[in-house]
Amino acid sequence: MSDKLNANNTIRTTRIESVKTENPTTKTYTFTDPRCAKAKPGQFLMLWIPHIDEIPLSIMNTTGNAVSVTVKNVGDATKHLHTLKRGDTIGVRGPFGNHFTQQEGNILLIAGGTGTAPLLYLAKQLAVTAKRLSFIIGAKTRNELLFLNQLEPLCTEPPTATTEDGTYGLKCLATQPLEQLLAEKGATQLDMVYTCGPEHMTRQVFNLTEKHGVPLEASLERLMRCGIGICGSCMIGKYRVCKDGPVFNSQRLRQVKDELGISKLGFDGNRIPA
Amino acid sequence: MIDLNRENLRGNTRLKSNPLKTCLGGLELGNPTALASGILSYSPESLQRIAEAGAGAVVTKSIGVTPRMGYPNPTVVQANCGIINAMGLPNPGIAEYASEITFTKTVTKVPLIVSVYGYSAEEYAEVAKTATEAGAEAVELNVSCPHVKETGSEIGQNPRLLTQVVRQVKAATTKPVIVKLSPNVTDIVELARAATKAGADALTAVNTVRAIAIDAETALPILSNTRGGLSGPAIKPIALRAVYDIYEQVDTPIFGCGGVTTWQDAVEFLLAGASAVQIGTAIATQDPAVFQTVNRGIQAYLKKKKFRSVKEIVGQAKRK
């Protein structure tokens, strides 16, 4: 067993250093973990909530040895995680998976909901190298638009915000301004699109980038158990989201398009709607 | 160096000159490496990928009569030189899985072995019957899972129950029946003998070794199920000894299983008496490419030692 896997996969207990409430359903947790602090944008960690569960989370930021993850309260595990406070103990293993490639040129990032977290981390790196950095961010309602203030100084122009209920920005899905942009500018003026969000949105982004011939990297999510590519819980097509992913490029997305936004494996291995 | 994938797909007639070809319990394998049960084996696409990566056979996750969700996370925890898991036999149930078996047979040519568990001899037999009717070339009886009550090792540790299960399964299918043995017993040879007497066509030695991981900071067992099974390099010497013991005293072909990570490990298992090996945990560090790496190593070893076939080295380490 290689030392690297062994060391990254060994569970480390650490204390929560800060909890920031982003909105009524979403909190950002920061803790010290030198290994996960070396993560590249797109990688994830497994976070152990003692007595409760262990869940995969995208890495939102790293500073020195500190790591931040942004968590929406969506189920039992995240509900319990939301009760944890500064000083409480959690376990961490990782970082796991591949990462976004760092492209130069004209870049567009499109995020939905908490999918903004890994793309914020990516945007911080791309801001240094990209010729032009644009951001489309979508959510159901105004207070679910995450990190707008942090994104603004990183981007070449103010991020385009969309809400489904029209409480902020454009009243539409995030894919609508993407569709317009691609129709206007097309492949000639976009070198790469990165996306993370609900899978039906990712599917739509994939369809649009394919139509206009623009390369895409999308971060996917599946039920995960081992995080190291052996249990098979997170398969999409022939790929393991935890090890071959979570970032899939256009070529791999084409191979899994029959499942993308359509179906996934449930806890018992049965195929269920995505 | 032969192309393992192409070689596998050519069929038996063209395999005559393939030094890696082996057989056990009526199963013909293009090479002596198989995917161990429980690893990457929910979906046909996943099994296809493993077969294309060079595995000589694939064993599925353990399938029962009804669906099971498995345990909550943590289900896998890293140990020194190994992994402890307590997945809790998650599976969709044989009624659902039968179509996956049939589909898998359309996309992969290597033997498909369906791992079977049950809470009674009748259940084992029912799943085995459906699985082989759906296209499985063999079944492997999981009588050794160390972390689910009233099945697995609770059957495999008891010669009387083990005999009942193997007999009923043998009566339910004409395909080879492989029995996967638990290392968590006083005398594994006694169980190997019971399985053989009841009609087992081959044995797999061994399943995971019962283990636990405790976190000092929280003073808690880490796995949600508290106890689990240890796999990986840590258990190789134990598995190797089990194979050696069984080969010495029982005349049934053996799948060596437990910590095979390199071609040297595989050769050691063959020398100890295994006709083939199963690989699982090593995929975490080496990806499915491990099958090709191990097979190339075995082939180079055979050439260097001037053996014509992998069959010639099976049991060579036995003291005369």
Predicted confidence (pLDDT) per residue in A195-213, tens digit: 999 999 999 999 999 999 9
Domain annotation for chain B: domains and CATH numbers: 4-313 (3.20.20.70)
Inform me whether the C-beta atom of residue A1 falls under 8 Å from chain B C-beta atoms: yes
How far A63 CA lies from chain B's nearest CA (Å)? Answer: 25
B224 CB neighbours in chain A (<8 A) are 53
* A5, A93, A269 member nearest B284 (Cβ): A5
pLDDT (tens digit, 9 = 90+) per residue, B163-201?
999 999 999 999 999 999 999 999 999 999 999 999 999
Statement: residue B124 has pLDDT above 50 = yes
Give ipTM to 2 decimals.
0.92
A91 contacts in B (CB within 8 Å)? 215, 218, 222
Express as a percent the part of chain B with pLDDT over 70: 95
Higher-pLDDT residue of B146, B225: B225
- Distance CA(A245)–CA(B318), nearest Å, equals 45
The DSSP symbol for A120 reads H
pLDDT digits (tens, 9 = 90+) for A95-147: 999 999 999 999 999 999 999 999 999 999 999 999 999 999 999 999 999 99
For residue B15, name the pLDDT band (cuts at 50, 70, 90).
very low
pLDDT digits (tens, 9 = 90+) for B264-293: 999 999 999 999 999 999 999 899 999 999
CATH code of A3-96, in short, is 2.40.30.10
Q: What percent of chain A has pLDDT over 90?
A: 93
SS (H, E, C) A91-112: EEEEEECCCCCCCCEEEEEEEE
- As a whole number, the mean pLDDT across chain B is 93
Q: Do B92 and A270 touch (CB under 8 A)?
A: yes
- Considering only residues A136 and B319, tell me which one the structure prediction assigns the higher pLDDT: A136
Mean pLDDT of chain A: 95
Q: Calculate mean pLDDT across residues B209-223.
A: 97
CB contact under 8 A, B76 and A228: yes
Residue of B nearest to A47 (CA): B74
Determine the average pLDDT of the residues in A68-82.
96
Domain ranges of chain A: 3-96, 105-273
- Give B-chain residues touching A55 at CB under 8 angstroms: 73
Of A58, A136, A51, A145, residue with least CA distance to A97: A58
Mean pLDDT of A26-46: 98
Percent of chain A with pLDDT over 70: 98
Residue B49 C-alpha, separation from nearest chain A C-alpha, in angstroms: 6
Distance CA B83, CA B231 (A): 5
Q: Which of A266, A51, A231, A5 is nearest to B229 (CA)?
A: A231
Write out chain B residues lying below 8 Å of A225, CB-based. Answer: 70, 73, 75-76, 87
Q: Is A111 on the interface with B (CB under 8 A)?
A: no
CA angle A160, A165, A168 (to 5 degrees): 40
Residue of chain B with shortest Cα separation from A9: B78
B145 is catalytic: yes
Which of A1, A11, A233 is opposite residue B285, by nearest beta carbon? A1
Q: What tens digit of pLDDT does each residue of A135-189 get?
A: 999 999 999 999 999 999 999 999 999 999 999 999 999 999 999 999 887 777 8
pLDDT at B136 over 90: yes
CATH topology of domain A105-273: Rossmann fold (3.40.50)
The answer, yes or no, to whether residue A41 has pLDDT greater than 80, is yes
Cβ–Cβ of B73/A228 closer than 8 Å? no
Would you place residue B12 in the very low, low, confident or very high pLDDT band (cuts 50, 70, 90)? very low
Q: What is the distance between the alpha carbons of residues A195 and B270, in angstroms, rounded to a whole number?
A: 49
